[in-house]
Amino acid sequence: MSVIGHADRARPLHDYCLGLMMPCDRKSVEPMAAMTAPERTAAQHQSLLHFVGEGRWSDEMVLGKVREMVLPEIERHGPIEAWIIDDTGFPKKGTHSVGVARQYCGQLGKEDNCQVAVSLSLANGHASLPVAYRLYLPQEWTNDRDRLRKAGVPEDIDFKTKHEIALEQLRWACEAGLLRGVGLLDAGYGNNSELRAAITALELTYVAGILSNTTVWAPGTGPLPARKWSGRGRPTKLLRRDARHQPVSVKELALGLSKRAWRTIAWREGTAEQLSSRFARVRVRAARRDFKRSESRPEEWLLIEWPKGEQEPTKYWLSTLPQDIAFHRLVYCTKLRWRIERDYQELKQEVGLGHFEGRGWRGFHHHATLCIAAYGFLISERETIPPSRPRSTRQLAKLAVPGSYRPRGSAASTRTARSEFDRDNAPEADHSSRHDVAAMPMLCRADRKTGAPEKFVTQ
């Protein structure tokens, strides 16, 4: 039995992944059905719609198979170096799609109506692969049981912050024994001191983005020890501060560094030139609410970036990477987060991660899982595709959409054409997008051995 649970699901899996990799403007069910089965589009539409929206197959099992097959291909270019926590937003209209709410959307750079999913990706300099992926449900959703029921949200799903979802994914990855890397977090996650402490408790190192107002104890400074017990009352063990013993913001600390503290360091080749900037690093102790603690936090690296031409430093990170780590290596690990930014861009633009048009919890996650499977296939076959490969890969046969076909809702469709169409095909659910698929290109690059990503179907 395959990882999707039943042999009857093998064909829809093959066709859905193939549709995700074919060149069309929209990777929703209707255009993919027209491209993968032009002679039986309506039946194919129903098949794919049921497979992704209602299919009782396991996202975890499919992602496990993808991980098993793709990670060795990534590791051929070097060991896994990072575990990257991130989230991504999908602009969405209406109020019925699962998880949709007015919240910050990174794709738009502002608050708007959208869905947000949290992910954990394993990465090196060559590629990254999402190994865990979950939709974030705002409290306005988790407080409305009727709304959850209509969207098919499992009963054991309750409210969790994005930080809690991220930590849950990290714990799962540790328990699963995945090859470890340094945890990379942007300031949206890294500024949370409880999350950083939990990552350390998992025996993971991290490079965590922080805000400029984050307070630290500069080198040679620290909180005062607990007061000596006077012999009366309960002895106190809490650290103290006074007028002379106060932490400073990382921005204040950075502005007070000498010119000799700054070095220009390159971390990788860009598309046009080598990427470099000015950095400084200092050993500090995080200070947030340490007056509630009996011991100071351990020292860690504060890394600061101040590009030339800028009025002040632009980025700050705290890191528990070893004290003896080379400066350029610290910068390289920090900047490896670019990998997830690039790969999310490709997941959205190349395989349609944000194109799902259903409303349910199962369909949202099934679509994401299949996008990750298709993307994993492309990663593993990257070297066979020009310009990486000297010879052109084999092309699939050209697919043709019948000239009489018109997508539902098209102004060009006629009652006669529709009656003939309905007579020959099963009724369709009105869930898909309206696009003129006849104008879409019909060529697709495929696996040089199988002609399609069928390797994700079998054991």
pLDDT tens figures, 20-36: 999 888 899 999 999 99
CA distances from 343 to 86, 124, 303, 329, 350 (A): 12, 12, 25, 22, 10
DSSP string covering 192-219: -HHHHHHHHHTT--EEEEE-TT-EEEPT
Query: Helix crossing, 361-380 with 41-53: angle to 10°?
Result: 100
Return the pLDDT at 43. 95
For residue range 54-108, list pLDDT tens digits in order: 999 999 999 999 999 999 999 999 999 999 999 999 999 888 999 999 999 988 8
Amino acid at 263: R
Question: Residues 6 or more apart from 129 whose CB is under 8 A from it?
Answer: 66, 67, 70, 71, 74, 121, 122, 123, 372, 375, 376, 379
- Backbone φ and ψ for 305, nearest 5 degrees, come out as -115, 130
- Please report where in the chains the tokens 């719609």 appear, as a residue: 49
Among the residue ranges 151-165, 201-215, 253-267, 439-453, the one predicted with the least confidence is: 439-453
Return the pLDDT at 231. 67
For residue range 287-297, list pLDDT tens digits in order: 988 878 878 88
Segments making up each domain of the chain, as ranges: 1-57+381-459, 206-221+243-336
Six token digits for residue 333: 């690990």
Question: Residues 6 or more apart from 310 whose CB is under 8 A from it?
Answer: none
* % of the chain beyond a pLDDT of 90: 65
| Average confidence (pLDDT) over 240-266 | 92
pLDDT range class, residue 417, cuts 50, 70, 90: very low
Pairing of strands 82-91, 182-185: parallel
- The pTM assigned to this predicted structure is 0.81
Nearest-angstrom CA–CA distance, 137 and 115: 8
| Average confidence (pLDDT) over 442-447 | 36
pLDDT range class, residue 241, cuts 50, 70, 90: confident
pLDDT range class, residue 312, cuts 50, 70, 90: very high
pLDDT range class, residue 342, cuts 50, 70, 90: confident
